[in-house]
Chains A and B, each alone.
Chain A
Amino acid sequence: MGIDFSYVLKVIDRISGAIPYTLLIIVISGSFGILLAAGIAAIRIRKWKVLSPLADVYVSFFRSTPPLIHIFLVYYGLPLLLREFGIDADDWSKTIYVSLALILFNGAYMSEYLRPAYLAVDRGQHDAADSIGMTGFTKLRRIILPQMLPIAWPNLENAFVELVKDTSVLFVIGLTDIMGMAKKIISNDYGVKKLEVYLAAAAIYWCITFAVSKLCQLLEKKIMIGNPTEKRVG
């Protein structure tokens, strides 16, 4: 049984139609995910009462369960919860639900990259900043962030790359992301050329992941001023 490469190319063209939607989900859940992560990390570092144990449970749960479950929970479970508060969420777009699911997942994951990076900055740096009268935000921006980001960045980059692949579970609730499109093509011709379609999907994921990690490395150069890093393979 040979592989029909001309069909792979043809299918790549068709699956490409789903790239913009997949990118939209990646951008939304990546950017809000890191914001949530920063909030969660702050809560756990400051050890705020009530909030901190809650954050512990949240991080533990979402890091220990696969994204597929999150999507089911958020899409089918959240409307039930909201109904208790009199909110009718049944007509919300599926995009909102999957973004929320991925934001929650990534928020938990990324917070565990930010927190240790923050804690890795030496206590003396805080004291030094305090001694010259820097306020909280200035201290964070001028002293802490420039030192913690180089530590956290390689992990965050990995998280973004993972996020690209996590979008492949969206099809379970009927969304047409890259995997959804691949599944659709397979079922519409009864799986005659299954292998070719999966190859095409793999090629597209590879390209997106490559682009994402290149983008991260560009940003890395900006962050790492004065901190030369080793050359890495994207």
Chain B
Amino acid sequence: MKTKLFGSVLAAALFAGVLSGCASNQSAGANASAAQSAGEPSAAAQVKTVNVALESGSKPLSFENDKGEKVGYEVDVLKAVDELIPDYNFNVELVESDATQIGLETGKYVLIGGGLYKTPEREQKYLIPNAINGVSLINIYVNEDDNSIKSLDDLVGKKLVPSTPNGGIFNLLTAYNKEHPDKQITITTGEGISVADRFKSVSDKQYDALVLPNNLGFTEIKKELGLKVKAVNPPVKINGTYFALAKDQTDLSAKVEQALKTLRENGTLSKLSETWYGEDTIKYFTE
């Protein structure tokens, strides 16, 4: 299913790319006229409604609750950003992760989220505001009785919950093994194991440890299933997450950057992090 989806998306992106090639001239023209009219006071007062997309079914980042309301950490951050930018009005959509990127490239959305890291490829393709919208921690999760594991070094010779092939965690572990030829972590792979089942297998002592990002709902799963699992402190890795904007959205990008900086300074991001993740993850990020 995954490869099929990927293939379809690729084909769709190609086609959309051809189409957007035709459309780019016109949107450039529209920008120029927008820039011209920006000098007039009447145009500046106009509120512009733009479509933005977050990932669907990505609890607790962004998802629909049982009442059909769009909720989640990034949804709340976007709302707060929207309030700080009076001349734009965000219309939030929740779609699959592949769809957010196609939508951004074809101009359907001006901004997307989804716990995105800053990568060279993304920086080349999109505008990434130089301010984090959140922090994703990569944690080692172990059974509450286990005090022997403190860092990746201690995972050598331990039984690790299988990770998704070529996923971020798999790459992180493989990179560690490359750097430490004398100390090899045993990596196994498996696909389609639910997040809840992975935590459960550590709680049941079927496996010794699990390496996983913190934004997949650990606090709630632990509470709901009564699991005996804890996160090892400090985290293995600390990543800032960012919004990505379409290349032609320089004005909005600058405003989003300013708004995110304000929200970080006034503690809003920390507060939202506590609401959705049970702890302030922003404080780990020092840049």
Point out residues on A near B: beta carbons under 8 Å.
65-66, 68-69, 72-73, 75-77, 79-81, 83-84, 90, 171-174, 176, 183-184, 186-192, 194
Point out residues on B near A: beta carbons under 8 Å.
4-5, 8-9, 11-12, 15-16, 19-20, 22-23, 26-27, 51, 56-59, 63-66, 68, 93-96, 98-99, 102-103, 106-108, 194-197, 216-217, 220-221, 224-225
Q: Which residues of A contact B194 (CB under 8 A)?
A: 186, 190-192, 194
Q: Chain B residue with minimal CB distance to A74?
A: B12
Bound Cα distance A176, B65 (Å): 12
Classify the secondary structure of B's interface with A. Answer: helix
Pairwise interchain contact A190-B15, C-beta atoms closer than 8 A = no
Q: Chain B residue with minimal CB distance to A1?
A: B197
Pairwise interchain contact A72-B99, C-beta atoms closer than 8 A = yes
A-B contacts, 12 listed (Cβ < 8 Å): A69-B8, A72-B102, A77-B12, A80-B19, A80-B23, A81-B19, A174-B93, A184-B57, A187-B57, A188-B65, A190-B196, A192-B225
Pairwise interchain contact B96-A172, C-beta atoms closer than 8 A = yes
Classify the secondary structure of A's interface with B. Answer: helix
Could you tell me the distance in whole angstroms from the C-beta of A14 to the nearest C-beta in chain B? 8
- Return the 5 tightest CB-CB contacts between A and B, nearest first: A191-B194, A187-B57, A72-B12, A174-B95, A192-B196
Q: Which residues of B contact A186 (CB under 8 A)?
A: 57, 194
Contacts A72-B9, A77-B106; A191 near B95 (Cβ below 8 A) = no
Pairwise interchain contact B63-A90, C-beta atoms closer than 8 A = no
Bound Cα distance A80, B56 (Å): 24
Bound Cα distance A5, B106 (Å): 44
Could you tell me the distance in whole angstroms from the C-beta of B57 to the nearest C-beta in chain A? 3
Query: Which one, B16, B216, B217, contacts A76 given CB within 8 A?
Result: B16
Pairwise interchain contact A188-B197, C-beta atoms closer than 8 A = no
Pairwise interchain contact A84-B59, C-beta atoms closer than 8 A = no
Bound Cα distance A180, B10 (Å): 22
Pairwise interchain contact A192-B106, C-beta atoms closer than 8 A = no
Pairwise interchain contact B64-A184, C-beta atoms closer than 8 A = yes
Pairwise interchain contact A191-B5, C-beta atoms closer than 8 A = no
Q: Chain B residue with minimal CB distance to A86?
A: B26
Pairwise interchain contact B196-A80, C-beta atoms closer than 8 A = no
Pairwise interchain contact B57-A79, C-beta atoms closer than 8 A = no
Q: Contacts A73-B12, A190-B221 given; 16 further ones with Cβ under 8 A?
A: A69-B8, A72-B102, A73-B15, A75-B108, A76-B16, A76-B103, A79-B108, A83-B26, A173-B95, A174-B93, A174-B99, A183-B57, A188-B59, A188-B63, A190-B196, A190-B217
